[in-house]
Structures are given as structure tokens and as C-alpha cells.
Structure 1
């Protein structure tokens, strides 16, 4: 690196910027080389460095490498944050791997990284997409049990899941709760009516 040649030792931020730039161009081997050189030089990688690499490997479909770095990160005494896990979660969601997503949530809890609303939204969305609405409800209840309140996106995901499985009563129940919490807008009301109309048409055609 130029800075080293001139006697200016790069720090974790400098290395991470370079790694991120290489990852953005899908030059993963070079990014790994910089990561190794960073460690050899005595510069300790931080949470941001690890998360940058993990997100990039997951983005390019190499989830196993993401897990390898996650394990190394924990072994080095760094606690991953919700953002670190989210990159792996989104990669599993893309592959429609619900079980792996749920295992990841459990893994977060084990190391003391509390799943946030975005984490739950991702897993609930995948559960509903796969028709596993009961799993979605279970995750919803677990989320509320942990002290988190569902947001607008959470309600819309769940309502959409119920409508998709012809569970109109449950969809109405969640819709009313969403209204009661002041989360409704005219746009979402129109979306809800459209979903109900599609449900009614399907019932008539059945």
C-alpha cells in the first residue's frame, strides 16, 4: 500500500475503505488479500471490517464464507451487530431458506445480539411468502414477547400473508389493530381493499 511505503501506517478504517472498494467491484480475492495483510501488519480488524466482508460475500452468493468470517469475528472477541446478521439473513431470504433464517435468529440471541424489528420483518416476510403463516404468527408473538412493537411494515407483511392464505378474518383483525395504533394511511387502506377484493373474487370463482 502507498501509505506504508511512505511511512504512514494505515489503520482499520483505511483498510476497510480499500476492502469495501474491492468488494464493490467483486474483486473478492484481492479484498481477502488486503484483509490478511491487515492482520499481518498488526492492525486488528473491527466490526465494520468484518461486516463489510460478510455483506459482500453474502451479496455474491457465498453464504458459507460469510459464516466463516462470522465465526472468526466472534472468536476474535468482536460481537456482531444486527447489521452483520442482516446481510446473512437477506442472503437466506433470497434463497427462500426459512429454517436457516430462524436458526440465525436463535444464533443472534445466544451471543447477546438482540434481533431488531428489521430482523423480524425479514423472517416474517419470508414465512408468509412461503405460505408458512403459522410460523409468521409465532415469530410475531416472539417479537412482541421480546418487547418490540410491530411497525407499519410488520403489519402490512402479516396482513398480506393472511390474505394470501385466504385468512380474511385474521387479516381484518390485524388491519383493525394497525388502525388502532394510528399506523394507517389512505394508500395502505386502498391496498387493503384491493387485497380483500382479490380474495372475494377467488372465493366466487372457487
Structure 2
């Protein structure tokens, strides 16, 4: 459909049915780039360059440069920017921000510095977005102190950080386990009269949950409803994961009930977290009850969701039920993946049903789903445990033959 639309647009231009202006081109280009059709957008730019009346402007070039950077085609983006300069179309802050963002994502910090300096030398001054791109890129590489220096420089130059700048650095602190620093920055942001958004809260709550600091996470969670932003599905998922991680089943159930009554729609990940938690603590009946409810509702599910259920059943000694569910997958249009097969093989091996495990491995390979290190390790350990050494040796040879490590 997209191909047809582009061809129709090109036909309109070539046959001079009407002459699109730069705005019309930009609208079509934007739509194509958002859907991932960067090459088709580039072909439209080339068509535009051939026109008599409408020539590409800075906006048209910037749309494509941004898309190329997002695709990781940085060299092509830089070439296009140089081409633009040769045509006396100077890049603006939007163009430079796209290039700098692309460089940060690829970790090309030296090039990034060069382009930043070039931009400033051309009297194009970095804005809040430029600085946020830099802080985010540095934090994702664990360079939080460098990101703080960038923010200090930014404030010195009279550019006020926004909530996204603070969020990127808080996330960096959380990723490096510096939760006290993250909290200090959160409070500093509020003191500067910048309202935290739900992402700010999610970052801190996630940081606390990962460190099993549930009282702090719950305190922040309670703050949200009092101070404005509504908890998102992601907020609830993080809290549920944290609570179930420390075995607080009752609290997790209360939060899930609160989520439903608040009209926040759970996603697949939410239900996966709950099922995992129920199975982990042996609440098999509750897990099966939730699973049955979701199936009856016709909730959208994927193979990852079924992996959670099959794994939980296997670990709780319900191998027959797990196998029955596994056999149902193809009739539901779901293809078992490496994890699905490995879970079933693990279940069989733990019960000493090695021939069933062997058959499952053969079925897996027959369906063009190839075992990984973990699959073979389960097989090797299972056969070793039952002293079936000659077969164990065959699996080890097979494993090395596939270039996997023992």
C-alpha cells in the first residue's frame, strides 16, 4: 500500500497533474519515515531536486537526515548534510541535533565533540534538546559524572534543563546503583519548580525495586496519586515485579486490584509478572485460575506468555498439564521457540523421562528451531544424572559440532 501511494505521488509530480509544495513533500516524507521507509523518502527527495519550481528546503533535508540517524546510517546522513551545505542550504539546530543523537547512540564521542564545536562556531547555539541528547547518551554508557558536567555547563550557559534532561541523568544514576544521587536529583528538580512526570517516578521506583528497597518504592508510588501524574501500566508492572520479587504476594494482589479499579489496563507483561510470581511461590491454583480467565477473555497472548505458564507448571510438578498446553500451541497459531522447547526438555529431564526429552529435542530440530547452550546443558546433565553416559557423550559432540561451548 505504501509503495502504491509513493508511486501515485511520483506520477502526480512527473505528469504535472499538480505541483506539490515543500509542505506537501514534508508531510509525505514525515509519514514515510515514521513507518520506516527511509529509502523511499530519499527517492522522493531526489525527485524533488529534479523539479523546476519546488526545491527541497532545510525541513525536507532534516526529516531524512533524522530518519537516517535513527536507522544507524550515520555516514549517509552526514553525506546528505554536506550535500545540503554545497547547495547553500545551511543546517540548523534540528539537523545538528539529529546528527549528534545518532553519534551518541553509536558511542562516537570524538565525532560528536567535533560536530558540537562546528555547530557553535556557526553561531548555532545548543538548545535544551541538544544537551538532553548528550546527557542521555552519556548516561546510557554509565558516564553519569560526565552527564552532570554537561548539565552544569548547560545551566551556566543559561539553558534550563527540562524534565527529560533530569530523567536521563536520574536513569543513569539508577543504572549505576547510585540511588541516593538519583533521589537528590529528583528533589533538586522539584526545588527548581520542574514538575516530575510519570517517567521520573517510574525511573526511581524501578531503581528502588531492583535494589529491593520496597519501602522507598512504595512511598514514591503513594506520592504519585497525591501529587498529580497517574500511575502508568509501566509503574504498576514495576511495583508488582518488586513486590513479588520479595515474596509480598498479598501486597501484589492489592496493587493489581487497585490497577484494575483505576482503569489502568494491564498488558501481557503485567500478567506474565503475576503468573511468574504465583508459580514461584507455589500458588499453582491461583496461577491457573488467572491463566484460564485470560484465555476466556481472548486476551492477546504471545509465545513468551505461554512459556511462563509452561515453565511454571513444569517447576510445580504439573508436567502432564504443561505438555498438554505445549501440544495446543500450534492449533492457536503459536510457534514454540527455543525457550519453550528447553522448558519442556528440562521438565522431562527432572522427572527422569529422558526418552521424552530426547524426542522433544528431535522435534525441536525437525521444526527448524535449534537448541542453544542451555538446551544441551540440560540434556547433558539429565543423562549424566541417570548414568546414560554414551548418550550424554553424543549430545556433547553434537553441542561442540554446532559451535556451542560445553
Distance in 1 (alpha carbons) for counterparts of 2:238 and 2:60: 47
Q: Return the offset for 1:143.
A: 0.8
What does the per-residue CA deviation read over 1:34-60, in whole Å, with 9 as the maximum and x for residues that have no partner? Answer: 433443544322111211221222233
Q: CA RMSD in A?
A: 3.1
Report the counterpart of residue 198 of structure 1 in structure 2.
245
Q: Return the offset for 1:107.
A: 2.5
Conserved 8 A contact 2:212-2:242: no
Pick closer, same or farther for the CA change 1:32–1:153 going to 2, 3 Å: closer
What are structure 1's unaligned runs of at least 5 residues? Answer: 202-206
Report the counterpart of residue 160 of structure 1 in structure 2.
206
Instruction: Select which of 191, 208, 211 maps to 1:145.
Output: 191
Pick closer, same or farther for the CA change 1:58–1:179 going to 2, 3 Å: same
Report the counterpart of residue 59 of structure 1 in structure 2.
105
Q: Return the offset for 1:92.
A: 2.0
1:85-96 matched pairs, under 5 angstroms: 85-96=131-142
What are structure 2's unaligned runs of at least 5 residues? Answer: 1-45, 249-406
Q: Return the offset for 1:174.
A: 1.6
Distance in 2 (alpha carbons) for counterparts of 1:191 and 1:19: 36
Structure possessing the higher radius of gyration over alpha carbons? 2
Q: Return the offset for 1:148.
A: 0.7
Pick closer, same or farther for the CA change 1:178–1:26 going to 2, 3 Å: closer
Report the counterpart of residue 113 of structure 1 in structure 2.
159
What does the per-residue CA deviation read over 1:103-127, in whole Å, with 9 as the maximum and x for residues that have no partner? Answer: 2222222222221111211211121
Q: Which structure's relative contact order is higher, taking Cα pairs within 8 Å and 6+ residues apart? A: 1
Q: Return the offset for 1:178.
A: 1.4
If the length of structure 1 is used for normalisation, what is the TM-score?
0.78
Distance in 2 (alpha carbons) for counterparts of 1:12 and 1:112: 27
Pick closer, same or farther for the CA change 1:157–1:24 going to 2, 3 Å: closer
Report the counterpart of residue 216 of structure 2 in structure 1.
170
Instruction: Select which of 92, 110, 128 maps to 2:174.
Output: 128
Distance in 1 (alpha carbons) for counterparts of 2:219 and 2:164: 23
Distance in 1 (alpha carbons) for counterparts of 2:67 and 2:221: 44
Distance in 2 (alpha carbons) for counterparts of 1:100 and 1:53: 20
Distance in 2 (alpha carbons) for counterparts of 1:57 and 1:186: 31
If the length of structure 2 is used for normalisation, what is the TM-score?
0.43
Conserved 8 A contact 2:128-2:162: yes
Distance in 1 (alpha carbons) for counterparts of 2:77 and 2:232: 47
Moved more, 24-33 or 53-62: 24-33
